[in-house]
Amino acid sequence: MNKLVFLPLALLLLLTVSAMASSKVEAVHEQASKAIAIEAKAQRLYRNWTDIKERKADEIREMKATEDWLKFQEKKYNRYIQKQEEVIAELIRRKEEAKRINMELEPFLDTIVDQLESFVKADLPFLSEERERRIHFLQNSLDDYHLELSEKLRRVFEALLIETEYGQNVSTTTQELEINGIKTQASIFRLGRTALFYQTTDGLEIGIWDKKSGSWKTLNPTYSHALRRAKDMADRKRAVELLELPLGATK
């Protein structure tokens, strides 16, 4: 009887111990599971933080590169601006200079044309109508309000160039002259601006323009041959050679 009572008690104690052990195992397992979950979460957070850190580092490097590029561009554009300011300042200076030149040039051109007119009147009497027309054309050009100043300048320079060339070449023309009060058809030979000769069509009479008296003066007929050769050279009918002609000497 006592043995039978002991057996259930022992079995009950064993079951109680087994239940307690099982409860502890479950608690440990639960704690371990929680620790593993916490570690896994920490690992995920660490990886996320590492990814974010790398992205931020890339962004910082990109922003640093952009900052360096912007600083370079700022220096570059500052030099561009400085250069453009210098160009603008030079353009302003030129504009003011051009304005000043325009203010001085227009009256200067009028003076030049007036002097040219006086010069032509005092010069040897050759191509008189042509030269007077040129002077008249220049005067009308300078009085034309709608004509650009540059074109006025070009026309005056062109006229001066033509007048300059007269002093560097020779020419022959035929015209009617009044010699000793008689109208006579004659051939005119111009030696630059040095002298102006005439020879009648029959070749018997020759003369030279006398600046002092403002009239034609006859020359010794011995110069007729030399004058004829000079006219042939001017007309390119013979080769150039040295000739002896009087310059201002009258009969």
Same domain, 83 and 159: yes
pLDDT digits 0-9 by tens, 172-196: 888 888 777 778 888 888 888 888 9
Considering the domain boundaries, does residue 240 fall inside one?
no
Q: How confident is the model at residue 19 (pLDDT cuts 50, 70, 90)?
A: low
Considering the domain boundaries, does residue 61 fall inside one?
no
Pairing of strands 170-179, 206-210: unpaired
pLDDT digits 0-9 by tens, 193-208: 888 999 888 778 888 9
Residue 198: both structure tokens together: 């005439």
DSSP 127-191: SHHHHHHHHHHHHHHHT-TTS-HHHHHHHHHHHHHHHHHHTT-EEEEEEEEEETTEEEEEEEEEE
Query: 94 lies in which domain range?
Result: 68-166
Q: In the chain, how many domains are there?
A: 2
Same domain, 146 and 72: yes
Residue 17: both structure tokens together: 């111990």
